[in-house]
Chains A and B, each alone.
Chain A
Amino acid sequence: MNIFVCIKQVPDTTTQIKLREDGNGIDETDIQWIISPHDELAIEEALILRERKPNSTVTVLSAGPERATEALRMALAMGADSAARLDIPDNFNSAMNARALSAAINKLGPADIVFTGKEAIDDGASAVGSMIAIYLKLPCVSVVNKIDYGEDSITCRRDIGGGNIEVIETKLPAIISTQVGLNEPRYATALNIIKAKKKPIETITREELGITEANQKIKLTNFELPPPKQPCRLIEGSPTEQANELIRVLADEIQAI
């Protein structure tokens, strides 16, 4: 099987985000970059599938600047067979990223299955997976937390809220976007990282992908940090006093009830 995984490099969840002086983006100095956590699930699922299907290969793709190579390196350290970076400018344009990733899959493919995270935790757009499906004209099941693999079809489970579960069967090839619970991403040891440094990472240029300025349809105009959190207030006293005070605060002070 030809298994593809699309990943994005994002700032670590514990990073204190600082804005650029011009307010038009984030300050990248001191940022620790990681693979977006849902994309790690996608890599893990690809590796699990490879173990089940003999003669399979896992190719990992990431659209982004030079630093995205590090994310690809981690994917190789986890066990992916090959990796390619799509050299397009860093952007918050899901359509352009999806277009580049689809072009790369067409170039390196054809794919039997494509995994990607349900969203990247930086912009949280949740769009790229579905968009790739449109560009590649393939079925897409999103936010999947369980997959049963059949001969040439797969059965996916997704939680759709209200405690309801949706089960979707689709023929392959297909695009799957992964949700927490699907698996537990494996740990890449320091040795695996050292070894991954020796593996080549291909760079595909924007010309090869057919990406032009014209694809850049979204322009970001301003960034703002969220307002600081309100301090906590502890309500003290006996349970009755606490309950009364809570009702008073909710009713009178903030008029929530």
Chain B
Amino acid sequence: MINDPKIQLTRETFGNIPPWSVTAFYIIAIASVLIFFWGVWRRWKLWKQGKPISIRKILLGNYQRLKPRLGRLFKEGLGQKRVRGRGLASWAHIMMFVGFIVLFLGTTLLEIDHLATKISEQFHFHHGWYYVIYEATLDIFGLLFILGISLFAWRRMRRPNSVGHRASDWTVLGLFLGIGVSGYFVEALRILWDQPKGLALWCSPIGALLAKPFSSMSETTSRSAHLIVWWAHSLMVFGFFAMIPFTRLLHFITGPMNLFFAEPSLGKLKPITIEEIEETGIVGVSEIPHLDQQQLLSLDSCMECGRCEEACPAFASGKPLSPKVVVQDLKGLMEATANGESVKLHGDTIQEETVWSCTSCNACVTACPVRVDPLGLLFDLRRDRAAEGALAGSAANSMRQMQTKGNPWGFPQEERLAWANGLDVQLASNKPDFEILWWVGCAGSFDRRAQKVTRAIAKLLIKAEVNFAVLGPNECCTGDSARRLGDEFLFQELAEKNHSTLKQHGVRKILTQCPHCLNSLSNDYPQFGDQFEVVHHTEFLQQLIDDNKLSSPNDSDSVTYHDPCYLARVNGIHQSPRDLLGNNINEMKRHREKTFCCGAGGGRMWMEEEADQRVSVLRAKEAIETNAKTVAVGCPFCLTMMTDGVKSCDSKAEVEDVAENLVKRLGL
């Protein structure tokens, strides 16, 4: 059939389109492209307000550094990796995305063929089997495109609260639907006047079916209708293209760009130096030009999909913070600043309360499909607020204690080993040949409840004959809260002090029971000195069981496990605690990397919370819903928050650390 001269397996590009129309088509095409670039250039100017990033260095720097950027572009851009995970909306996006890409590539190929043929007939490739596959593919992916749009339109009609909405969103969806549907009609009408037969007809199945009911249409009618619909289709396509930089479609450009330029740093904050501050006079961020160009670009890649807002514990507990709104408000300010309006960042745009409401749980950071980092933005703002004296009340007290006493509670350092009374726990200075240094942490040392966890761990370590030592009075707060409350230099002072203590004892491997200490020591500290191997006690205890140094315990009673943010989400440790707890775990709805914060992170531990705004209560309710008798945790702050939360829900569930649970089951 393919060689049947009567059946032409191709179609004429611009068939039925008079020359004046073709000329007009190209003029409008050029205008549309110009408007597109003008629009993008306007946004570009907005981003240029920020602190420069070296694009040259990023692009021409060494390949090892470029590789993860390209990886993100392919996996998370083309592969839509981070778009997944939101049910139907994810599927709608993927359908639309794939459909769009295929139709876009198809149109581009057609144009290439058209231009190539102009040069020489022998370059013509839009025929034969290629044509058959081409037509069929575009027909099918067109359907996918329309299905994706329809799903999105349906969702937008019954719009979830977290999804942002502008009038232009309907224009965009309507235009997309119009382009998709009119495309099929152009095809159907072409079939009607061209009358292809056999494979040449049925390689465009949707067009063929659509043409059927109109088969009685005369050629003249179908030709004029074809021209009209073709123009409608073309104008919509050019309209859409010109509209990209002026609507949410901007993320076609900014999304991949942000995936490429983002500097993912889960669990780390950007360090600043005194020298930098002396040079610039800028501590944190109090106006748009203090943000860097990538951060400003990221504001423009936000689509208001609201995933961050849905994941945010501050928002869920009724505090005046939504990561999405922060990003959008800053975006508004970026535009206002460029227009020379005198709108202030702090106070006018972002409220004080908003800045301090973040628990630094990183849920928004991991939820964003295009890697916007609301946490990084907020913490840059915090540095400015802290320097301007905005920290007061209980958090200020804890910080003063950290400054003067080396721990947030203000206990005398000499009492750091009070918990160990009667246990064989040695100081590193008395036991220079220790294998692992146990970093007990301030909570584990001073908090009455957390001390019990510390004793439980000590018993297990002693039972397993682990060669460990502690620093006792020489241990200082890691400064995690200080850094996350915006006092970077208090953090750096503490880090320096701890670094020198650890160096003095030749420490390489550290065991810690606090995920905040763990994160600080393994992610924050290497920015200022040595890299240590840091293990969480749940990992270490599981290893001891695997090595038969501790016997395997029986399964526990029904238990649920609350994953600490800085353990599960930030540092990926969520299997060991579960292994330790055995087979009787009733999981909460949100668990492992998707865990929901207890409310204590980001220095919130030291702040007062309104009784009706407690994150801990929300999480405790989730834990209680599992009907587990025990709520196990792996973090001293979670322990405090979950205990309070469970109590205020009048539940009898017991909150305990995984180590305490293990001690009970081993009968130690």
A interface residues, Cβ below 8 angstroms from B: 12, 14, 32, 34, 44, 47, 78-79, 183-194
Contacts and interface: CB of A to CB of B under 8 A. Distances in A.
Contact of B486 (A44, A188, A189): A189
Contact of A14 (B386, B412, B487): B412
A187 B489 contact: no
Interface in B600-643: none
Contacts of B391: 186-187, 189
Contact of A191 (B277, B395, B405): B277
A189 B490 contact: yes
25 contacts: A14-B412, A32-B404, A34-B404, A44-B392, A79-B389, A183-B392, A184-B392, A184-B393, A185-B396, A186-B390, A186-B392, A187-B391, A187-B395, A187-B399, A187-B400, A187-B487, A188-B389, A189-B387, A189-B486, A189-B488, A189-B490, A190-B490, A191-B488, A191-B489, A193-B403
B440 interface: no
B274 interface: yes
Contact of B396 (A184, A192, A194): A184
B579 interface: no
Interface in B400-417: 400, 403-405, 410, 412
B283 interface: yes
A47 B277 CA distance: 24
Given A184-B392, A185-B392, A192 B400 contact: no
Contacts of A194: 274, 489
Contacts of B405: 32
Contacts of A192: 387, 389
Q: Which 6 A-B pairs have the closest CB atoms?
A: A187-B396, A186-B389, A190-B489, A184-B392, A187-B391, A190-B490
Contacts of A190: 403, 482, 487-490, 492-493
A187 B389 contact: yes
Interface string B271-303: 000100100000100000000000000000000
Contact of B389 (A32, A34, A78, A193): A78
Contacts of B274: 191, 194
Contacts of B492: 190
Contacts of B487: 187, 189-191
Interface centre among A188, A189, A191, A193 (most CB of B within 10 A): A189
A257 to B, nearest CB: 34
A203 to B, nearest CB: 25
B580 to A, nearest CB: 37
A14 B412 CA distance: 8
A191 B389 CA distance: 11
Interface in B370-408: 386-387, 389-393, 395-396, 399-400, 403-405
A47 B389 contact: yes
Given A14-B412, A194-B274, A194-B489, A187 B386 contact: yes
Nearest to A186: B389
Given A14-B412, A186-B392, A188-B389, 16 more contacts: A34-B404, A184-B396, A185-B392, A186-B391, A187-B386, A187-B395, A189-B386, A189-B391, A189-B489, A189-B490, A190-B403, A190-B487, A191-B277, A191-B387, A193-B403, A194-B274
Contacts of A187: 386, 389, 391-392, 395-396, 399-400, 487
B446 to A, nearest CB: 12
Contacts of B412: 14
Nearest to B283: A191
Nearest to A78: B389
A87 B424 CA distance: 52
A194 B278 CA distance: 12
A6 B331 CA distance: 45
A118 B181 CA distance: 78
Contacts of A34: 404
A128 B313 CA distance: 49
Contacts of A186: 389-392, 396
A45 to B, nearest CB: 12
Interface string B181-200: 00000000000000000000
B475 to A, nearest CB: 19
A194 B396 CA distance: 18
A174 to B, nearest CB: 25
A156 to B, nearest CB: 21
Contacts of B489: 189-191, 194
Contacts of A184: 392-393, 396
Nearest to A183: B392
Contacts of A193: 403
B395 to A, nearest CB: 7
A185 B492 CA distance: 24
A255 to B, nearest CB: 36
Contacts of B386: 187, 189
Nearest to B410: A14
B486 to A, nearest CB: 7
A12 B392 CA distance: 19
Interface string B563-604: 000000000000000000000000000000000000000000
A12 B493 CA distance: 21
B622 to A, nearest CB: 33
Contacts of A47: 389
A184 to B, nearest CB: 4
A137 B188 CA distance: 99
A137 B358 CA distance: 50
B407 to A, nearest CB: 12
B404 A12 contact: yes
A205 B648 CA distance: 59
B572 to A, nearest CB: 31
Interface centre among A34, A78, A192 (most CB of B within 10 A): A192
A250 to B, nearest CB: 30
Nearest to B395: A187
A188 B283 CA distance: 14
Contacts of A44: 392
Contacts of A188: 389
Interface centre among A12, A78, A79 (most CB of B within 10 A): A12
Contacts of B493: 190
Interface centre among B274, B390, B392 (most CB of A within 10 A): B392
A184 B389 CA distance: 11
Contacts of B277: 191
Contacts of A14: 410, 412
B476 to A, nearest CB: 14
A88 B442 CA distance: 40
Nearest to B274: A194
A30 to B, nearest CB: 10
A186 to B, nearest CB: 4
A193 B274 CA distance: 12
A189 B396 CA distance: 9
A34 B410 CA distance: 13
Contacts of B488: 189-191
A47 to B, nearest CB: 7
Interface in B434-489: 482, 486-489
A186 B482 CA distance: 15
Nearest to A191: B489
Nearest to A32: B404
A63 B185 CA distance: 90
Interface in B1-44: none
Nearest to A185: B392
A109 B410 CA distance: 38
A192 B385 CA distance: 12
A50 to B, nearest CB: 11
Contacts of B404: 12, 32, 34
Nearest to A188: B389
A257 B488 CA distance: 58
Nearest to A16: B412
